[in-house]
Amino acid sequence: MALDELARTVDDASRTATEIPQLAETHALSVDEAYAIQALSIRRRLERGEKLIGMKMGLTSRAKMVQMGVSDVIWGRLTDAMRVEDGDSIEFKKFVHPRVEPEIAFLLKKPLEGRVTLLEAMNAVEAVAPAMEIIDSRYKNFKFSLPDVIADNSSSSAFVLGTWNSPSIDTGNLGMVMQIGGRPIQIGSSAAILGHPGRSLAAASRLVAAAGLRLEAGWIIMAGGATAAEKLLPGMSVRLDVEKLGRTAFNVV
């Protein structure tokens, strides 16, 4: 089957919130082919009128890398349709089996291209915000191989951002508390994101270069989960508080 056809399969699954078998069950895909499928599936979204507004980093904690048996992070694309306004609700029926994880987001004021240091990456940042990513693997039982998850836009599905803050706030070790229904459910530190979320930003610049891309001024970069992800169900209210950065929240209906 052509990569185009596989891109249509994952895009349809995402668009209709329908679970699908893993592509790897029937196709021996390389990581490069998986990123090509991701690009083609996002191109379908852009053709429907969505706009590319940034990138997300995934598998940014050591625990998740070990679990997947990989030693590098993965990335996916963010479109404007994936953004949930702070405090708004998401409709459960638009997802297959969504989960939420606490993150830090960066807004870029300058492009970043290829290999950059942590300092160079942070110098390109206009603002930082508390953020949550709603991940939703389109594969049955949330089970996948590495090429599967990359082809499926690294499980990215939606995201919510709090207020933007000055980049002079060091995001290297900020306390993060995610609550569901008013009960703290995940407590962690931004240091769990590759030791410093800025390292994830630098890694994003390096990784997208392999696909001939650069991180653009004005883009939002989601640095990756600081804790394990939590399953979402209708009726839940979810809130994240990040030390010095503030809060962000959404509901599931």
Binding site residues, ligand 0L1, CB under 6 A: 58-59, 64, 133, 135, 137, 149, 154-155, 224-225
Q: Closest residue (Cβ) to Mg ion? A: 133
Nearer CB in complex with ligand 0L1: 3/150: 150
Nearer CB in complex with Mg ion: 25/72: 72
Amino acid letter, residue 74: I
Residue corresponding to tokens 């992070």 = 73
Binder of residue 157, out of ligand 0L1, Mg ion, none (CB less than 5 to 8 A by kind): none
- 237 token code pair: 């209210």
CA separation, residue 42 to residues 7, 56, 71, 122, 185 (Å): 8, 13, 25, 27, 32
**Residue 152 in contact with Mg ion, rule: CB under 5 A:** no
Please give the sequence-ordered ranges of beta strands (E in DSSP) within 82-155, or none if there are none: 83-84, 89-90, 99-108, 125-135
Binder of residue 205, out of ligand 0L1, Mg ion, none (CB less than 5 to 8 A by kind): none
CB atoms < 10 A from the CB of 46, how many? 12
Quote the CA–CA distance of 86 and 81 in Å, as a whole number. Answer: 14
**Rounded least distance, CB 90 to Mg ion, Å:** 15
Asked whether 105 and 128 are in contact (CB, 8 A), the reply is yes
**Rounded least distance, CB 190 to Mg ion, Å:** 13
Kindly identify the residues of this chain, within the stretch 119-148, that bind Mg ion according to CB under 5 A: 133
Give the binding site for Mg ion (CB under 5 A).
133, 225
